[in-house]
Amino acid sequence: MERIYFDNAATTALDPAVLDTMLPYMTEKFGNPSSIYSYGRESRLGVENARKSVAKILNANPGEIFFTSGGTESTNTAINAAIRDLGCRHIISSPIEHHATLHTVEHVYCRDEIRLSWVKLLPDGHVDMEDLRRLLAESKERTLVTLMHANNEIGNLLDIHAVGNLCKEFDAIFHSDTVQTVGHYPFDLRNTPVHFINGAGHKFHGPKGVGILYINENVKIHPYLMGGSQERNMRAGTENLYGIVGFAKALEMATENHEQHSTYINDLRMYMAEQLEQHIPGVGFNGDLKGRSLYTVLSVSFPKTEKSEMLLFNLDINGICASGGSACTSGADAGSHVIRALSSDPNRIAVRFSFSHTNTKAEVDTVVTKLKELI
């Protein structure tokens, strides 16, 4: 059975060209980047060239880019630093953030006795900007706003500049989880009012286990992980050398092909939405499908029936990979916290299909035909 992979928001396949770039750093260029002899200097050059490449693509200073193990570590670092080093005693977030953010803000709320506020959401899942302004205006303490750039389950896109300018107005620190958008959208960080963003290589055909944290050059924080002087004393631990090189290569390729791939993927997503509307009675879509929305994600709402309750299981049996929202909750009885925050209707089933440039219309047709059988 040939598998159809429609869960690219969870992870993507490693591009062969990225692997080719990584392989020399797994074999002959294996030196520790902290070593002063030739093997170490060769590895150090690989890391620093990768940093320069990432910084150039994101229009940041190389000194603002720090390599980490991925989005979760980067988010934890930013949120903890805002509380510990930047004097924030109030956090504003949303109930549909990734658990890397939700669990971290809840932890510091309990541990550090800070205030925690949830911004209201509009019916389509977007942040209520008027409510965000109200929360910031009423805050008597310095505030951290942590809101994701694109929701990993429903695909809604935040107006990152509007939020950043609002934070600037109230002297708030702004962290945005950009894991779903780094590698998928162009960034101009020199002209974006944000203090922290993060990215993960495996979301855009790079390796797993490597990410970045952007720290604005005007922000001074202490390290989250202690133990060594790596990453300019900001992130202890021997660098993930071949992961870092792979991250930079994957980001270079994603940027080079952005216009072509984003148009193709969005056309595929909208084609599937149209086919579902034509062939599945009662189908709906979660989030702002035809407005500000991530071009890789289609969150579908099916009527709940005896058949559809086993939908993900039956799709898997038929070789179709999709998710019940976030990959982090796809196996949990509780289901998606994002869908629950937007809808309390117990008679709907949510399935997330997410695409890459390697997917085809023929695959969409096969999945829609199979969904007709299963529902």
Number of H helices, E strands in the chain: 12, 12
Q: Which residues are catalytic?
A: 328
Q: Which of the 8 DSSP states describes residue 363?
A: H
| Cα Rg, the chain, nearest whole Å | 21
Phi, psi dihedral angles at 166 (to 5 degrees): -65, -45
Phi, psi dihedral angles at 147 (to 5 degrees): -135, 135
Q: Do 360 and 367 touch, CB atoms closer than 8 A? A: no
Amino acid at the residue 300? V
* C-alpha to C-alpha distance for 39 and 43, rounded to whole angstroms: 6
* C-alpha to C-alpha distance for 44 and 196, rounded to whole angstroms: 25
User: Where do the H-state alpha helices sit in 143-226?
Assistant: 160-169
Half-sphere exposure of 197 (CA within 13 A, CB side): 26
